[in-house]
Amino acid sequence: MNAEVTEDQPEPPPYNEAMSRLDAGISRQVETTFGPEVITGPVRDEPPPNYTDIDGRPPSEQTDPQSSDSDADIESRHSRAEVEAETAEPNGFPARIWARLASTFSLSTKAKNVIVITCIIVSLLVLFAILFPFQFSYVQYYQFALVRTKSTGRVSTDRVYEHGCYVLGADKEFVYLNRTMHMEEFNNLGMFTRDNVDLSVDAQVYYLLKYESIGQLWRDYAGKHESVIQSVSKTTIRNCAYRVSQDEYLNDREAVQDLVHNALIDKLADFGVKVPIFNYLRLYLPERVLEKKLKLLLIRTDIEKELAYQQQREVELGTELITTPILYSAREAVNNGTVKAAAIRLVAKTEKQRNV
């Protein structure tokens, strides 16, 4: 059911007052009556319908001819709007806290600036205390280290760091090298001997990096020195095989090992590497070589057996030559003794019978 608007409807406020209330954020309810009910609603943003465009000016410059507000009334309304805006609850938790503190302690602008600067300094100090421990870099007792710049990837070789704790900075980090014993193991390494026999060996090379040569080693090989040292060691072991015969590998192994060890020491000294230990582990010979070695061993055994038999026969003959005259002399002495004893018995028996 539609109801007609009663004639005692209130007049709209003056335009200037409506605009000032709108700028100050103050709402005003306008009562309209539709039938028996009263409906209230906020003031609209647009001008009331009874205002028209005056001289083509925008609404902000229009005035209500019926308005009789003085400049003092308008100024009081603006000041009241400012007070209400200041006392309004600010949005956001930090803003509300700051408003509460300001209202409680009644801080001046200078005091507020001091508090803000103090908070910033404390925040920076806390941030520094949190981030500063991450600037420490450690070098263990079993490591060497060089400094690398993260942004450029350049490694500085001017200084080699030993074990300790260092502050490098946010853009720097350590590149670590092992200062303990390095080991290179070669399995089934093929080579040729001086008598042109192919064989294979298992060997181990133990080496140490010298402190004074770390920088030059990095400048020359940029951290790839391990593969270079492995290749040089393998080549040196193979080159030494040409100076040794197959029999020396089999029968004089310690001498061959010392020969290769000295060659490795001389060769790797050019790279700033010390080689304290070298070991031959196993020696592998081809099947044909083993068969030939077995045949030669059998022949040598037979020859040695025959020589031993001949030596035994010579000893036996010599012993016989020595013992035969002695046996003849002994038999002759026994026979002579027997004859003499028989003659003495016969004489004794004859004398006995004569006396009777």
Domain ranges of the chain: 15-87, 89-177, 182-285, 304-356
Residues 6+ apart with CB under 8 A from 171: 149, 150, 151
Record the pTM: 0.52
Give the per-residue pLDDT at 95.
64
Positive or negative torsion for Cα 27, 28, 33, 38:
positive
* CB-based contact 135:167 (threshold 8 Å): yes
Q: Is 175 helix (H, G, I), strand (E, B) or coil?
A: strand
Give the per-residue pLDDT at 80.
60
Give pLDDT tens digits for 165-203: 887 877 888 999 999 999 999 999 999 888 888 889 999
Give the per-residue pLDDT at 233.
94
* CB-based contact 262:214 (threshold 8 Å): no
* CB-based contact 260:236 (threshold 8 Å): yes
Whole-angstrom Cα distance, residue 275 to residue 213? 14
Give the per-residue pLDDT at 260.
94
Give the per-residue pLDDT at 17.
66
Give the per-residue pLDDT at 28.
45
Tokens of 114: 């001091």
Give the per-residue pLDDT at 227.
92
Per-residue pLDDT of the chain (356 residues; tens, 9 = 90+): 444 444 455 566 666 666 666 655 544 444 444 444 444 444 444 555 544 444 455 555 555 444 445 555 656 665 565 555 555 555 556 666 666 666 665 556 777 677 778 888 888 887 776 666 666 788 999 999 999 998 898 999 999 999 888 878 778 889 999 999 999 999 999 998 888 888 899 999 999 999 999 999 999 998 889 999 999 999 999 999 889 988 888 888 899 999 999 999 999 998 989 999 999 988 888 888 778 888 888 999 999 999 999 999 888 888 888 888 888 888 888 888 888 888 888 888 888 787 76
Give the per-residue pLDDT at 352.
79
Q: Which of 343, 345, 188, 177 is nearest to 272 (CA)?
A: 177
Whole-angstrom Cα distance, residue 84 to residue 196? 109
Strand ordering across the sheet containing 143-149: 155-161, 143-149, 172-178
* Residue 130 burial by Cβ neighbours in a 10 Å radius (0-12, 13-18, 19+): exposed
3-state DSSP of 221-245: HCCCHHHHHHHHHHHHHHHHHCCCC
Query: What are the backbone angles phi and psi of residue 166, rounded to the nearest 5°?
Result: -135, 150
Positive or negative torsion for Cα 320, 326, 329, 331:
negative
In the CATH hierarchy, which top-level class contains the domain 182-285?
A: alpha beta
Give pLDDT tens digits for 20-30: 666 555 444 44
Give the per-residue pLDDT at 303.
92
Check residue 46 and report its DSSP letter.
S
Count of residues in the chain: 356
Give the per-residue pLDDT at 72.
56
Whole-angstrom Cα distance, residue 334 to residue 202? 74
* Residue 312 burial by Cβ neighbours in a 10 Å radius (0-12, 13-18, 19+): exposed
Helix, strand, coil % over all residues of the chain, rounded to 5: 55, 20, 25
Amino acid residing at 186: F
